[in-house]
Structure 1
Amino acid sequence: MTYGSIVHDPTSSLDADIPLDRSLHEQLAATVLSWTPGDDSLPPTADIEQVALRLTGYANLLVREVQSTAMALPRDGQASTVAARTLAHIAIGEAIRRLSVPPVPGRHPLRVAQSQARLVRALHVALDRVLAAAPVSVTSP
Structure 2
Amino acid sequence: MTQGLIVHHKPDLVVGEAAIGGKNASAFLIKLFGCVEAVCWNRGVKFEAAHSGTVRKHFVGKALTTRDFPHLKSDKAKKAAIKDVVIRRCMAMGWDVDNDPDAADAAATWDWACATFCRSYQAKPVGGLF
| TM-score, with structure 1 as normaliser | 0.28
Q: Which has the larger radius of gyration?
A: 1
| TM-score, with structure 2 as normaliser | 0.30
As a proportion of its length, which structure holds more strand?
Answer: 2
